[in-house]
Amino acid sequence: MIAFGVVYNNARISLSERARELASLRVLGFTRGEVLRILLLELAILTLIAQPPGWLMGYGLAWVMKTNLAGELMRVRLVVEHSTYVIATSVVVLAAIVSAAVIRERIDRLDLVAVLKTRD
């Protein structure tokens, strides 16, 4: 749920910041699919670039927890399997796909006239 919240919030903020530009592209003749592709390409690149730092931060957090939990009576080994990274990446990619579907509906309902009438 947290992964979906982070990815969806990022996509929604990106759409909100670029609503005027995307509406301008639609008025200039771009199709909904082309406008959606611009937004989703950014989402995909950010999602893929964020994976390796996320793996490193997750491993670091596990190491810190292991180190802080070590005591006289009990010690915990740090074992992170490759399947853990596969599952984590799959969850984030699935969250990005679901977010893309929700954002697509928002782009389809983008009111071109109202967006272009707003003044900055």
Among 62, 18, 58, 23, residue whose Cα is nearest residue 40 = 18
> pLDDT averaged over the chain?
87
Average of pLDDT values for 35-39? 89
**Residues near 40 by beta carbon (within 8 Å), at least 6 away in sequence:** 100, 103
Q: What is the domain extent for residue 100? A: 2-117
Mean pLDDT of 84-93: 93
Q: Which residues of 5-43 are buried (b: 16+ CB within 10 A; e: fewer)?
A: ebbbebbeebbeebbeebbebbeeeeeeeebbeebbeeb
**46-62 pLDDT per residue, tens:** 999 999 999 999 999 99
Confidence of residue 120 (pLDDT cuts 50, 70, 90): low
Mean of pLDDT values over 20-25? 83
- Residue 18 — pLDDT band, cuts 50, 70, 90? confident
Number of domains in the chain: 1
